[in-house]
Amino acid sequence: MIRELTTADFTPYLHQTFQMQRSADLPVTVELISVQAVGANIGADAKTADEAEGEPFSVVFRGSAYAYLPQSQYTVAHPELGLLSFVLMPIGVDEAGIRYEATFH
Domain boundaries, the chain: 7-104
Question: What integer pLDDT is reported at residue 49 of this predicted model?
Answer: 47
Cα–Cα distance list, 33 to 10, 24, 100 (Å): 10, 26, 10
| Low-confidence stretches of the chain (pLDDT beneath 50) | 1-2, 41-45, 49-50
Question: What integer pLDDT is reported at residue 42 of this predicted model?
Answer: 41
Distance CA 92, CA 84 (A): 23
Question: What integer pLDDT is reported at residue 23 of this predicted model?
Answer: 82
Distance CA 19, CA 29 (A): 5
DSSP count for the chain of H helices, then E strands: 2, 6
Distance CA 100, CA 58 (A): 10
